[in-house]
Amino acid sequence: MEPVRVRFAPSPTGYLHVGGLRTALYNYLLAKRHHGSFILRIEDTDQTRKVEGAVENLISSLEWAGIEFDEGPGRDGAVGPYVQSQRLSMYKKFARELVDAGKAYYCFCTPERLEQVREKAAAEKRALVYDRHCREIPAAEAQARVDAGEPHVVRMKVPLEGEVTFEDQIRSKVTIANAILDDQVLVKSDGFPTYHMAVVVDDHAMGITHVIRGEEWLPSTPKHILLYQFFGWNVPKFAHLPLLLNPDGSKLSKRQGDVAVEDYRAKGYLKEALVNFIAFLGWNPGDTREIFSMQELIDEFSIDRVGKSGAIFNLEKLQWLNQQHIRVKPEGELLELVRPMFAEKGWTRLPDEYLKRVIGFLKDRITVIPDFGTECIFFYEDPVVFEEKGRTKNWGPDTPKHMALLLEKYEAAAEFTAAETERLLRQTAEELGIGAGKLIHPLRLASTGVSLGPSLFHVLELLGRETTLRRLRYALETMK
RNA sequence: GGCGUGUUCGUCUAACGGUUAGGACGGAGCCCUCUCAAGGCUUAAAUACGGGUUCGAUUCCCGUACGCGCUACCA
């Protein structure tokens, strides 16, 4: 069997869209699964939409997500270049071949005339296709007009009869009658190929075996197949992925939330979570497992299990998955993700060992990386104010007396471990003839400023005797 | 308008003709507990509609409805 070669072919119009990430991911997974090659190709045939820096941005987002390409811009294989604007001569050559073979023709219609044709068709409620006005111009005449410098495009000569049928890997058999197909423009008047010309030429030239792309390409696939036939080339396998949707069911768009991969990265989502989530939008392993690493996805992915219907991008599920991936990520790795934010907040003096333990405490109670810096800030700073709700609930008239007693015991404690601080507290409660809760809650408030957080005695142990006692004295002072 | 394509809990989905239609997120409740989480358990919640085919349809066929995509010298 021939080796699998797939490609992801974005246009450099800005950032990597999450829908694009999924397309790239599925291509990548299939390639890795079959020890094939994953190619990145830049489709910049529309000069008007080009955005500066977009290619670099696309690549960095892909790399962040852990999707490495085997061939592409800056990583030459045998079939480059991998940027379409650098392959113009090739398209020109093949377009010429098509014209000479009578499979394509020069069209001199102006945009205005085309517009009129469409309006007329719309008024008559017919399909809005080109009326083939230039299709029968004699070759010699057409060539003469081209030579004379008359503006023109090249159109494919779609057979008037028959139909194209192909087996989509996801949708099974799809059939479209040639009669309703447009005489698609192949080469624009600026000499650049259209998408339709460029994909076919490049996918063939680059030896692509499987074309996995978004569902929006399904209707134009017959034209592509016709082109393969015109050239006498092997047709690759096609798989058209269902779309990613907004909560209201429309095609996922910027207006209704973040769509750029870099947005999710910036908001503190782990690449592991985003990849896991995006993979499951349209694919599943067939059992009830949901937490998957990239390697596990590679091991189990198959196009057969990709669904047909569009999937709504459900942020809550992503949040849950992020939480799950954070929980299993080693503290040291989390620390590196969190470090820039800590630096911003000025928490640079705390030793790594301390921070790792804090992360250990916090990692199963947060959903997104920045939560490490907002969730329990008492790990990083002494509290200056005390939560009002906690004060009214847990700070009674006797509390100062109790806390003072506890303070004394803690000052004299032989060691300041979780076990010892807890023992001393329970002992004190017993002496006072009250429940331990009557001391624990005020102590939590006094030492952390809030009434939530991990196991109190472990918090105290980590804070250390000095910090704990300092905070207790401060609390007693301010809450007299 | 034309063409294509899709339709299982609110959401992501499982069930390749026979299931009490399963799981997960989110919701509700309970348990655990020094709080908040996490975790465990329980629970509500779906086969768009109408015809066929079949002993039997979520599953196969046809139609309807609705959604979505395409209909550019954009991809």
The enclosing H or E element of A105 equals strand A104-107
| Dihedral of the alpha carbons of A395, A400, A406, A410, in degrees to the nearest 10 | 110
pLDDT given for residue A1 in this prediction: 66
CA A182 to CA A226: how far, in whole Å? Answer: 12
pLDDT given for residue A222 in this prediction: 96
Residue ranges of chain A whose pLDDT lies below 50:
none
CA A410 to CA A430: how far, in whole Å? Answer: 16
Mean predicted lDDT score pLDDT of chain A? 94
Chain segment A341-354, per-residue pLDDT in tens:
999 998 988 999 99
CA neighbor of A103 nearest in space, from A27, A155, A61, A66: A155
φ, ψ of residue A312 in degrees (nearest 5) = -80, 135
CA atoms within 13 A on the CB side of A458: 9
- Which nt has its C1' nearest the CA of A217? B70
The beta strand positions in A233-276, using DSSP E, are 237-241, 244-245
pTM of structure: 0.94
Find out whether A406 and A439 touch, Cβ atoms under 8 Å: yes
User: What is the pairing mode between strands A5-8 and A37-40?
Assistant: parallel
DSSP state, A135? T
Å from A349 (CA) to B49 (C1')? 67
Q: Is the CB of A426 under 7 A from strand B?
A: no
ipTM over 0.85: yes
Residues 6+ apart with CB under 8 A from A320: A367
Q: Is the CB of A435 under 7 A from strand B?
A: no
DSSP state, A53? T
Structure tokens at A270: 């782990």
- Nucleotides, chain B, CB distance < 7 Å: 1-8, 10-15, 22-26, 34-39, 67-75
Residue type, position A471, single letter: R
The beta strand positions in A190-346, using DSSP E, are 210-214, 237-241, 244-245, 311-312
- Is A308 noted as a catalytic residue in this protein? no
CA A189 to CA A418: how far, in whole Å? Answer: 77
